[in-house]
Structure 1
């Protein structure tokens, strides 16, 4: 039976989402220095409250030593590392849910990529003390006590998300942040129970996931959603990192924990896969997941046609990242049979409709910003 973008999707724990589209997490660089949402932040998310049936926030750092990452002069990453952030995330949940969408809060620890912490303290914390040509600060190895504290911080962040009115959390295990750093032999060179073998390198993301689920069982309503975001592989020229086979083994372990979804982070196209395989990343993972675990992914979806292909051949729900940056009403137009009105490229005129934060506007306006390109992006460069 052919799937439609307007199909409802029922997750393992019982919650039902309207439609197969979701808003992926994207850094807005709009937070305060201590990680609180600003009026700019709330305006951006409120403008996207109709873009899909499920919206995922940008990443929130769970420990004070775990962020901010990115940000810089345009504004900071958002935080959730203490109860002082509750008012901020409550306002965020309200803005995202105002038109009936389910709101998911992504929780994260930047690890060695916590450049904001490094700016203040002169170092960041990672699985191992390493040097990298991409970092201009020291990376210190996490102690066992610090690792255990961060695991608890993920649980406390989950409790705050529940109190704030979110419908779920997404554990950020992708994009080179701390959970991925533990998986990678490039950044994890430990010889204790947290490093070495693949089983040991998987132990941190598994422990974090179990702690999140423990807090959900204790404090959340029965239908609270729990998802996990993963990067399929991390190849380095020296042979370090991890392979799709390694990450697939982690997926099999996560499957035993009965999550609601797995979210695959793909930089290129949603149908991409390993160079030596005829299968896509999502097709490989699908074979390792039970039928109740939904499969989500992103990857260059700018049209309803591409989204429809994605959900019929590769996944259960598809995210429009840059697509929703360009047109905040992407999903609304699909659900109201106006897909032909979706705006597919940015322009100075369309920019007025995007409700971008100043951080996003400044970032995409730079000539060499390091961000994935927007269709017609040159039209808004400074």
Structure 2
């Protein structure tokens, strides 16, 4: 039977979601100092409780040395690195789940991208001590003890997700953050058990996955969801961190760990392909998954038709990112047969309805959208930019 957007999906461990739409993780620029949830955070997520059958939070850093990864001057990245964050996490899970859809906490360590540590004069950690030309601060290679502690921190954050009422966690191994840094030959120059060969560069991501699984087996409901997000390739000109051929080997190891889903972070959209083949990333990665490990793709979806195309021809689930920024009720309208009423662009008139945080409005009304893909209609909200959060510390 042809998959339809409204066909329910049951994951490997028993959790069922009512449709194939996922709200992708997107930073809201709304955290309080220390990574605590704000009222603006809750308002944003509460407004999107019917955006999809499964909602994934923005990244939450799991270690005190794992963030914040943010634009200095803007509200901070959210955290899950201490029990002090639990009250806010509980409120966040409740806001996301209030209409019966699943809520997933994305857990993360920024590694070299923990800009907040550089701003405050603290060491910024990575797999290896490397002076990156694009970063205005040095990176210190982690000690063995620091690596082991961070692995445990992923487990502790998973425990908090369970206690807070989330239905699952997504391990963030994409977008040049720490797990990707360990997998990348560009950023991992270690010669111990955590680096060197491809197999050793897989060791840290696999250790994190196994620690998360251990905690889930001990503490979570049997249908708790575990997903992993990965960037299929890391290629910068003649510098190659890894190709899709290598990342497929990592995913093949994750399949043995019986995860519920793999989420491909695709900058150019769900139909995108590597440069050396006409096959899509979705097709290439589906090839190494078993029947029980679901595939999530993302990118370029602003309409019901695009979402349907993604699940019918590319993946089990489609994560909708900017589409839910401009249309908080994306899935609700599809379910109601009102897909033709989905808003597909932003405008000044839409600002009250989208319930953006002040940080998001400032980010997307900048000329550079803080480095994010621009929104359809984004030029119309440029006059709304006040510059209240802008700084010049992190310039390219």
| TM-score past 0.5 threshold | yes
Q: Is the 8 A contact 1:74 1:358 kept in 2?
A: no
1:220-239 equivalent positions in 2, closer than 5 A: 220-239=220-239
TM-score, with structure 2 as normaliser: 0.95
Q: Is the 8 A contact 1:261 1:294 kept in 2?
A: yes
State the partner residue of 1:330: 330
State the partner residue of 1:70: 70
The CA deviation at 1:72 is: 2.5
The CA deviation at 1:351 is: 1.6
1:119-198 equivalent positions in 2, closer than 5 A: 119-198=119-198
Q: Is the 8 A contact 2:132 2:138 kept in 1?
A: no
State the partner residue of 2:379: 378
Alpha-carbon distance between aligned partners in 1 of 2:332 and 2:354, rounded to the nearest angstrom:
14
> CA deviation digits over 1:147-176, x for unaligned, max 9?
000000000000000000000000000000
Q: Is the 8 A contact 1:122 1:138 kept in 2?
A: no
Equivalent residue of 2:120, what SS?
Answer: helix
The CA deviation at 1:71 is: 4.0
State the partner residue of 1:203: 203
Alpha-carbon distance between aligned partners in 2 of 1:35 and 1:71, rounded to the nearest angstrom:
14
> CA deviation digits over 1:280-335, x for unaligned, max 9?
11111111010011100101111111111100111001011000000101110001
State the partner residue of 2:389: none
State the partner residue of 1:291: 291
- Aligned residue pairs total 382
Equivalent residue of 1:105, what SS?
Answer: strand
1:96-111 equivalent positions in 2, closer than 5 A: 96-111=96-111
The CA deviation at 1:98 is: 0.5
The 1:89–1:71 alpha-carbon spacing in structure 2 relative to 1, beyond 3 Å, is farther
The CA deviation at 1:353 is: 0.7
TM-score, with structure 1 as normaliser: 0.99
Q: RMSD in angstroms over aligned alpha carbons?
A: 0.8
The CA deviation at 1:238 is: 3.4
Q: Is the 8 A contact 1:49 1:98 kept in 2?
A: yes
Alpha-carbon distance between aligned partners in 2 of 1:336 and 1:355, rounded to the nearest angstrom:
21
> CA deviation digits over 1:67-117, x for unaligned, max 9?
000143220000000101000100000000001010000000000000012
Alpha-carbon distance between aligned partners in 2 of 1:47 and 1:245, rounded to the nearest angstrom:
40
State the partner residue of 2:214: 214
Alpha-carbon distance between aligned partners in 1 of 2:62 and 2:205, rounded to the nearest angstrom:
14
Flag structure 1 segments of 5+ consecutive residues without an equivalent.
Answer: none
Flag structure 2 segments of 5+ consecutive residues without an equivalent.
Answer: 384-396
